[in-house]
Amino acid sequence: MANTAPQRAAQKLLVANRGEIAVRILRTAHRLRISTVAVYTRSDATAPHVVLADEAVPLQPNNGDPVANARGYLDADAILAVCKERGVTLVHPGYGFLSENAGFAQLVIDAGITWLGPKPETMECMGLKHRARELAVEVAVPLVPGSKSLLHNAEEAVSLANEIGYPVMLKSTAGGGGMGLVVCTNADELRSKFTSTQSRAQTLFHNDGVFIERYIPAARHVEVQVFGDGCGRVIHMGERECSVQRRHQKVIEEAPSPFMLRHPAIQREMWAAAVRLAEHVNYESAGTVEFLVDDATGEFFFLEMNTRLQVEHPVTEQVNPGLDIVELMILQGLMKHDHPNGSMLSHPAMEQHLSDTPPEGHRLHAIEVRVYCENPAAQFKPCPGVLQQVEIPKHDWLRVETWVETGTTITPYFDPLACKLIVTAAHRSEAITRLSQVLSEIRIYGPPNNIEYLRAICQSQAFKEGIATTTFLDTFTFSPRAFAVLSGGLETTVQDYPGRRIGLGIPRSGPMDSFAFRLANILVGNEPGTEGLELTLTGCRLVFHQAAAVAVTGASIKVSVNGEEAPMWARIVVPAGGKLVLGNAFGTGMRMYLAIKGGFPEIPKYLGSKSTSLGLGGFQGRALTAGDQIALGDCEPSDALSPLSLPASVIPSCPTVWTVHVLAGPHCDSTFITPHGIAEFFATDWTVSSASNRMGVRLEGPHIGWARATGGEGGSHPSNILDNGYAFGTVNVNGDTPVILTNEGPDMGGYACVCTVASADLWKLGQLRAGSTVRFERVSHAQAVDLLRSQNSLIKSFMDASISPPLALGPAPESENVAADSRLHIVPADPAQGRPCVVFRQAGDSAVLVEFGEMTLDFAIRARIHAFETEVRRRALPGVWFLAPCIRSTMVHFDPLATSQASLLAALIDAESSLPSTVQSLEFPGRKITFPVVLDDRWNREALDKYMRSIRDNAVYLPSNIEYLARNNGLTSAQDALKQLVGTDWLVLGVGFYLACPFLVPIDPRCRLVGQKMNPSRTYTPRGAIGIAGVVAAIYPIESPGGYQLYGRTLPPWQTWGKGQDFSPDSPWLLRPFDQVAWEVVSEEEYVQLEARFDAGQYAFKVEETTFSMAEYAAFVESVTDEITQFKARQANGIEHEEARERELFTQWDLQRRAELDARQAQASVADGPTGDESGACVASSLTAHIWKIKCAPGDVVNSAEQVLVILEAMKTEVNIEAGEEHVGRRVKGFGRGVREGGSVSAGDPLVYFE
């Protein structure tokens, strides 16, 4: 509907607030066609009120302290400066912050700006409760019996309390919202609390004045909305009841008051009293007069007057159709501006008869609830965090005031209000029914909130009958269906099975040991893939608010319920209020699993899975920590569940020496590794490195016998290849270090892969512990599929009672002569027809890598891959999960139980043969997307500075990656290199690695700069960084490690929550193959502004539909052939020179590094003697690790099971070694051999001995 309000071009309104109230004020201002200004602090930079306002200005932008910066909304001088700078004519303060600060209001008025609120003198006198009481007495507004003025000492308070009668309330005169209020039941209590209440009042309100009032135990809180024109004319708009309170904070508000509906005479008296008081002070604008009502007698008493807009004002608006209190405040301000000597506001809502409706004439009833991110089960502790899913229902009878959406962060700096829900109905019972409905429908998932608590209140008999008083919630019992985390251990995360099978660099995630995980779920009656907890090495401590059936599987640990030991691999029951303690893994094994009946329904799926990954999914995208609370589903035990426990014969063991079944390939042939190197690889007992984690299991052993000197265009090391897809569980060789890529590993990259773990053995990777040894045993594809079928049959047998479960897992496959060569089929090149060689490579039992042509970048090859994928998708081959294309290959991922390798291979070969001989006539539709780019930016320079300080300070690519790129490509300067890099459009050849990271190549061959990867890699790269490795560039989607040579920064092609017109929640990535990327150079200052718009979902990329024509490209290349030849010649000379320099520099650095390591080890061996009596009880290391910190000393007494004795460093994380319950009360005697900070320990080594 068109906005018919008159344009008020001369007016500009600043909202001195944030959150939902700022959004609500802006909405009305826009309807009135008044331009608006928002102010914001750092944590609110992308908040809705910033986006919705016509202008937005940061407060204290140079204050880097987030806590101090958050106080910007209280900085009157800063806000006033914004008003003057931006030509503001109106200021609306909302509620809270400076809304009742008379000094700020006066500053605004003195600056010639209209204050949308009452006069400062009114605010001041009503803000001091003792003065407000005096004014009330002057117009016969009844007061709670109490002191007539401020009290000076405790004895004066006691004397007066003896006259009034106990209990009494000791109150701060400047307080509000229940702060500064203490109930005292006798004289001794009053004496003891008097001074502390004064001190607290001084701290909170800078005023230590206190007074006392009689405390009415069975009271109702009823308030009257008033509005005045400042000239003595005041109307009321009816009352609201706010009796449902916790800790004197309102929880539910409604209009009209259910008490007043039964007592119309009292209602009219209260309305009149409120108007009388407001008229007495010539009240201007909106205000609320609050009363306490004795539920037994109906007497009402003045409490205070709030000289501002109330949080609960929508309730009044809903029962008065057409009323907009904010609009009246703005119009009153405009009237005052235009007629400073006074004039009555003319508006339909200012007619008193509209609100003078007797109870029998009330047509509507409205109820409001405040949804807070707080934990009712933990004394309403605020719970900051990310809202992972926000879905608010829509009904014509539901009004929602909110500022949150999926992805909003509730910070710890402000009130944790997420939204207000206001329902309206013809009568109260219907309103309650609707409120219960909407509280059942709403989905606000993330940190704990009070939605279920509100729902329980709505369903209580006292609330339904309208008899709740202000003490109702004091005895209201609420027990959430949830568990609370007392201790989260090293890494306890939410996972589900199978995780994500999307590709595009979205990690699969899920449980590392999916076999133990699924069995745990079966034991409690869940579906095998239901979300549960994965614990790494160390256990956790949980308290269950309601009884729950649980099961623990995986590595061996001690399990106890309320101190009583409980079995693993069995269903156990934790009673309501029970404490479940999972100990640390002992012996061998790495991960444990906890399944709980019903799962975690309030943890939303992210991209199809609840698994925790890279800051995404799970609970807050992270491991659980103390204080977290997880909502449960139908968790109560049931006798119908089966089985109760698993037979010992099917429980897998965790040895120290592992045999892992693998399938050769995809790069297990003499093209990459010599025959001797292949034989040695499979004959080696590899040692698991302490640097392993969920991304990959790093292995230590001999050097690889490479068959090549370099990786050619893939990179200078023989392990380098032009980037291709990775299979899940593949053994990726980074330099000479094998890494088994696991659940959080990349799905694409530029390193060769020797073999791939059979799907049935993937669970073993989850139990590999640092120091364990692994030998890879090759199996055929048929054997691998048989193993998988056997495993799945076992799981199914426990789910289906009609199937007799096997006594054990199927036997390991018999050793046979399995071919090492992973090439399944080769289509020879046909130069005459222009067809390249095509190699189909085995990549585990669930993937086939299809390679085209030589190990070089060739757009014609990439075009053929695109055509091949198009044909494969057209055929809709059964069992194919997804394709992962890259530079010269595509990885076909498939379900080996849905289709055989042989049938899939035949279909792929046939699809390839159907392609035309030449691709020169092909055209590929795509998009041309313009990215802003900062060249040689400060953020990338900071990343390199950090690298030089912490990792390596002397390399051919240091101190400047850009200068290195210039030298490496035969260019004369860094500026020439940058000019080349942005002088052409780029083509997206692949999307993957991590979080849809794009792999790009310049379309113009003369601009294809090359560079080697940094060795070692960086530990930090800013998001949006652009770097080159080999001939390929990438845009880093998130802050992460990395090894590409950095030269600029742009906006990331990834938007976690899918904000903005170029993204969606189901597709948070931007780019896809055969998109083209153009660059627009911007300054660092411009980039910061663009980044803020991007994060707020307000940035729109420039996107043009385009087509990539192979014929046009070939013609262009032909036209610049000579220049390309010259460029490549200069480039070859530069590469040769820089590679020689790097070999020398790397050797120097490596020798120095090894010498320093030897020196530390020699020093350690001197100090590695015992530090005391090595006998008696001890705490041992659970893994091979470095000792980071020792947190105890001989003579210390262990005070709690959670007391940290030693902090180890392993798997790139800190591991707390806690005392455990069995050592509580014991005294530390000494340390194990070699235990010192900086030293190393192996799994099982004693750390701390006790007397």
pLDDT tens, 1200-1221? 888 899 988 765 567 788 888 7
Q: Tell me the average pLDDT across 952-976.
A: 96
Q: Tell me the average pLDDT across 798-817.
A: 63
Helix (H) and strand (E) counts in the chain = 28, 64
64 band by pLDDT with thresholds 50, 70 and 90: confident
Q: Quick check: 1169 pLDDT over 80?
A: no
Strand partners of residue 1030 = 1011
Residue 361, pLDDT score: 66
Q: Pick the residue with more confidence: 1227 or 819?
A: 1227
Share of the chain above pLDDT 70, in %: 95
Q: Pick the residue with more confidence: 726 or 819?
A: 726
Strand order in the sheet with 591-596: 492-495, 532-536, 591-596, 548-554, 571-574
388-397, 526-535, 945-954: least confidently modelled range: 945-954
Residue 782, pLDDT score: 94
Residue 705, pLDDT score: 94
- Could you say which DSSP state residue 575 is in? P
311-315, 698-702, 976-980: least confidently modelled range: 698-702
Q: Quick check: 344 pLDDT over 60?
A: yes
40-54, 163-177, 211-225, 552-566: least confidently modelled range: 163-177
What is the spatial distance between Cα 118 and Cα 127, in angstroms, rounded to a whole number? 12
Q: Quick check: 177 pLDDT over 60?
A: no
Task: Report helix, strand or coil for 557.
Answer: coil
Type of residue numbered 252: I
Q: Quick check: 362 pLDDT over 70?
A: no
Query: Scanning the structure block, which residue is given the tokens 């004020």?
Result: 25
Residue 440, pLDDT score: 97
What is the spatial distance between Cα 50 and Cα 670, in angstroms, rounded to a whole number? 61
Query: Scanning the structure block, which residue is given the tokens 């057409």?
Result: 322
> In a 10 Å sphere around its CB, with 0-12 CB exposed, 13-18 middle and 19+ buried, how is residue 774 labelled?
buried
Share of the chain above pLDDT 90, in %: 74
What is the spatial distance between Cα 645 and Cα 643, in angstroms, rounded to a whole number? 5
Element (DSSP H or E) covering residue 164: helix 154-164
Residues 6+ positions from 380 with CB-CB distance below 8 Å = 246, 247, 372, 374, 450
What is the spatial distance between Cα 1078 and Cα 573, in angstroms, rounded to a whole number? 60
Per-residue pLDDT reduced to its tens digit, 992-1038:
889 999 999 999 999 999 999 898 888 899 999 999 998 899 999 99
Q: Quick check: 803 pLDDT over 60?
A: no
What is the spatial distance between Cα 526 and Cα 255, in angstroms, rounded to a whole number? 45
What is the spatial distance between Cα 216 and Cα 173, in angstroms, rounded to a whole number? 19
Among residues 543, 554, 548, 603, the alpha carbon closest in space to that of 577 is found at 543
Question: For residue 393, what are the CA distances in angstroms to 7, 441, 443?
Answer: 34, 6, 9
Per-residue pLDDT reduced to its tens digit, 1091-1144:
989 998 889 999 999 999 999 999 999 999 999 999 999 999 999 999 999 999
Q: Where are the alpha helices (DSSP H) in 672-780?
A: 675-683, 762-765
331-345, 521-535, 772-786, 843-857: least confidently modelled range: 331-345
**Backbone dihedral angles phi then psi of residue 1156, each to the nearest 5 degrees:** -65, -40
Pairing of strands 730-734, 753-757: antiparallel
- Here the tokens at position 394 are 């829509």
CB burial readout 1003-1018, b (16+ within 10 A) else e: bbbbbbbbbbbbbbeb
498 band by pLDDT with thresholds 50, 70 and 90: very high
What is the spatial distance between Cα 936 and Cα 942, in angstroms, rounded to a whole number? 11
- Here the tokens at position 465 are 């009958």
723 band by pLDDT with thresholds 50, 70 and 90: confident
Q: Tell me the average pLDDT across 295-301.
A: 93
